[in-house]
Amino acid sequence: MTSLSTSAAAAPVRARPRRRRKFRWAMLTPYLFLAPALIIYLGFLVYPMLVSLYTSFFDWDGMSKTMTFIGFGNYINIFFGDEVARQALVNNIVWTLGCLIIPTGIGLLLALALNRGLRGTVVLRTLFYAPAVLPLVAVGLIWGWMYNPNFGAINLILRSIGLGRFAGGWLSGYDTAMPSAFITYVWASIGFPMILYLAGLQSIAKEYYEAARIDGANGLQQFRHVTLPGLGESHVIVLSLAVIGGFKVFDLIYTMTYGGPGRVTQVLGTWMYFQAFQYYHAGYGAALAWLIAVIILVIAIPYIRHMSKD
Amino acid sequence: MTTAPANAAPRRWQDGVLLAALILLALIWMLPVIAVISTSVRSQGDLLGGGIFSLPKKIHWENFAKAWVTGDFSTYFKNSLFVIFTKVPLGILIAALASYPLAKMKFPGNGWIFLFFLVGLAVPVQVALQPLVVMMRELGIANTLFALMPPYVAFGLPLQILVLRGFFRLVPTELIEAARVDGASEFTIFWRIMVPLSVPALAALAIIDALATWNEFLLALVLISSKDQRTVPLGLMQFQGEHSSQYTLLMAGVLISIIPVLVIFLFLQRYFVTGLTAGAVKG
């Protein structure tokens, strides 16, 4: 009732007979504040989203006037026709499961290590976080150079420690391209979980640890029964954002492998781009985009619910 | 930074081992950056002969000048900075305006509108790409920097509204009520009370948003095709295409494109961390 009481509080200062009209204008105030945001959000996020939902039911090249309605044809094609799309979906799922465990796990371990009040913690935190602020295009090029078959740092190191037989074209090998790209992603994405877990750890009251110690809990037991449950909120956020980020992956694959060799590193994000903007299958691209959106929205429900609770 | 269990003495040697392991890991983590620097300061001959782990025979600073000029980075920097200096203040102002009623007023639809914005956190850019291309053509701003701004603002709003609403809720309601009794308009309250009291949050969001704008690739890739309108990530990809085997020049270009972000991050790190945690953990 804030805005109503607002006008009630402000109105007596002015002439009383105007109270009613004043009251009506005041009711509009919140919407006036919201208008610019709503217009931009509806116009340039929601509207294009709906247009691409519409497009996804057509066979369309993205430019010509003729669009052929094919119902769920594009969606059926994703699951039963297009082998690359299925490969891309599998790649996305494996990649996302990796994101759920590896960068988040490393982030948690680093947060635990950096939370012990050691010297140099701030510098270390900065170094581990730094890759996360770089443009992913630059990260892709940097790691493309790291993986360079002849002059890249990785093969140079392998050769110098006598493991030269493992040296190879990391990004051009069918078996190694995807794991190599994933390692790059891990490098660039441990910062966020680390920072969030650090914030979470610092919000756990010391008394819990003292109580646990008095009860005779050892380090591991304290971790299991105090630290992990104490990080409840951090887990929701870190894991949700890891999945959302993992499913959206585009820049790194585009810059490092361009979906290759062959199509083994295609993910839905890149395959959608290739279909819509390289092969001019705009309708099919829109269906792929909506598949990504629906999966992410479903996965994000617990996160959104958590954030909207007061 | 010191919420660790405080039985310090018996842990001292363990902490030493831990610190050593952390430093080793940090060195490994910095290896790619070291490789880039080491590559960018030598001649191509020195690189192919000695490799990146040898001491450079001579420091070739001119690689940076050459990359800057041949890559036309000045155009890309100008374009990216133009987008940042228009988009970031505009977007944050719009987000702040929306966050004020969402945080401090009760009106029909408040909860639903907030939820509606929140859902945007999970919307991937891909789902709007093709229609945006058509829309920008119809608006007559296709293939210009102005085509980037509306979608950049729209996709930035969910996080910014989430964070600012959280901050605005911390402003004491009595302060607002007192201003209302004094006859202040809602806009005055927003501009004179909410905004000044939320400067740390606004600054953090501006920095995060500036970095995200500098780094954004996919929308720019699809909406911009002409050379003189490219932003830094697009220009860098173009540069890579033209100099893919001139490693020293390429890495000089990469370094040029990441130095601004690294400098901003190092100097404004404090704001950065505040903003990130505020956005993720509820106020």
Q: What CA–CA distance (Å, rounded) separates A127 from A132?
A: 10
Q: Where are the alpha helices (DSSP H) in B145-246?
A: 149-170, 173-181, 186-189, 195-197, 199-215, 218-223, 232-242
Q: pLDDT-derived band of residue B55, with 50, 70 and 90 as boundaries?
A: confident
Residue A266, C-beta contacts closer than 8 angstroms, at least 6 positions apart: A84, A87, A88, A91, A253, A259, A274
Paired sense of beta strands A68-69 and A58-59, if any: antiparallel
3-state secondary structure of A68: strand
**DSSP for A13-31, written as a single string:** GS-GGGHHHHHHHHHHHHH
Closest by CA to A268, choosing from A303, A241, A296, is A296
- Does an H or E element contain A58, and which? strand A58-59
Residues of A in contact with B219 (CB under 8 A): none
Question: Mean pLDDT across the stretch A68-84?
Answer: 92
Question: Mean pLDDT across the stretch B171-198?
Answer: 92
What value does the mean pLDDT of chain A take? 88
Query: In DSSP terms, which residues pair with A68 in a beta bridge?
Result: A59
Of A9-13, A118-122, A193-197, B151-155, where does mean pLDDT reach its minimum?
A9-13
Residue A76 lies in a domain: no
Per-domain residue ranges of chain B: 9-66, 72-280
Closest by CA to A184, choosing from A254, A114, A84, A85, is A254
Q: What CA–CA distance (Å, rounded) separates A111 from A200?
A: 9
Closest by CA to B259, choosing from B30, B33, B60, is B33
Residue type present at position B7? N
Residue A276 lies in a domain: yes
pLDDT score of A310 = 65
Cβ atoms of B248 and B65 closer than 8 Å: no
Question: Mean pLDDT across the stretch A103-121?
Answer: 90
The sign of the dihedral angle between the CA atoms of A86, A87, A89, A94 is: positive
pLDDT score of A160 = 87
Closest by CA to B236, choosing from B222, B223, B221, is B221
Place of tokens 């361009």: A258
B39, A169, B238, A183: CA torsion to nearest 10: -80
Model confidence at B225: pLDDT above 80: yes
Cβ atoms of A137 and A285 closer than 8 Å: no
Q: pLDDT-derived band of residue A70, with 50, 70 and 90 as boundaries?
A: very high
Q: Report how many Cβ contacts below 8 Å link chain A to chain B.
A: 309
Q: pLDDT-derived band of residue B281, with 50, 70 and 90 as boundaries?
A: low
Give A265→chain B minimum CA distance, Å: 18
Closest by CA to A245, choosing from A95, A127, A52, A130, is A95
**B103: which 2 tokens?**
């945080």
Model confidence at B200: pLDDT above 50: yes
pLDDT digits (tens, 9 = 90+) for A168-177: 889 999 999 9
Residues of A in contact with B282 (CB under 8 A): 233, 307
Half-sphere exposure of A235 (CA within 13 A, CB side): 7
Residue A70 lies in a domain: no
Question: Mean pLDDT across the stretch B171-199?
Answer: 91
pLDDT score of B280 = 58
Inter-chain contact B215–A136, Cβ cutoff 8 Å?
yes
What number does CATH give the domain B72-280?
A: 1.10.3720.10
Closest by CA to A125, choosing from A187, A190, A185, A186, is A190
pTM (2 decimals)?
0.88
pLDDT score of B99 = 95
Of A43-57, B38-52, B135-149, where does mean pLDDT reach its minimum?
B38-52
Residue type present at position A277? F
Domain limits for position A167: 84-308
3-state secondary structure of B148: coil
3-state secondary structure of A59: strand
Residue A211 lies in a domain: yes
Burial class (CB in 10 A: 0-12, 13-18, 19+), B183: exposed
Q: What CA–CA distance (Å, rounded) separates A252 from A137?
A: 6
pLDDT score of B8 = 47
Report which of residues B213 and B16 the model is more confident about.
B213
What value does the mean pLDDT of chain B take? 89
Q: pLDDT-derived band of residue B282, with 50, 70 and 90 as boundaries?
A: very low
Residues of B in contact with A204 (CB under 8 A): 3
Residue A92 lies in a domain: yes
pLDDT score of A12 = 47
Helix axes A19-41, B110-119, angle to 10 degrees: 10
Q: What CA–CA distance (Å, rounded) separates B238 from A310?
A: 47
Q: pLDDT-derived band of residue B10, with 50, 70 and 90 as boundaries?
A: low
Give B58→chain A minimum CA distance, Å: 19
% chain A with pLDDT above 70: 92
Question: Mean pLDDT across the stretch B175-179?
Answer: 92
Residue type present at position A140? G
pLDDT digits (tens, 9 = 90+) for A198-217: 888 888 888 888 888 888 88
Distance linking the first and last C-alpha atoms of chain B = 20
- Does an H or E element contain B93, and which? helix B73-104
CATH code of the domain containing A220: 1.10.3720.10
For A308, the closest of B94, B118, B128 (CB atoms) is B118
Query: In DSSP terms, which residues pair with A58 in a beta bridge?
Result: A69
Query: In DSSP terms, which residues pair with A69 in a beta bridge?
Result: A58
Q: pLDDT-derived band of residue B279, with 50, 70 and 90 as boundaries?
A: low
**A255: which 2 tokens?**
């810059």
Question: Mean pLDDT across the stretch A282-294?
Answer: 95
Number of domains in chain A: 1
Residue B81, C-beta contacts closer than 8 angstroms, at least 6 positions apart: none
Burial class (CB in 10 A: 0-12, 13-18, 19+), B90: middle
Residues of A in contact with B136 (CB under 8 A): none
3-state secondary structure of A69: strand
Query: In DSSP terms, which residues pair with A59 in a beta bridge?
Result: A68
Inter-chain contact B115–A303, Cβ cutoff 8 Å?
no
pLDDT digits (tens, 9 = 90+) for A240-275: 889 999 999 999 999 999 988 989 999 999 999 999
For B98, the closest of A10, A37, A272 (CB atoms) is A37
Residue type present at position A74? N
Question: Mean pLDDT across the stretch B60-64?
Answer: 89
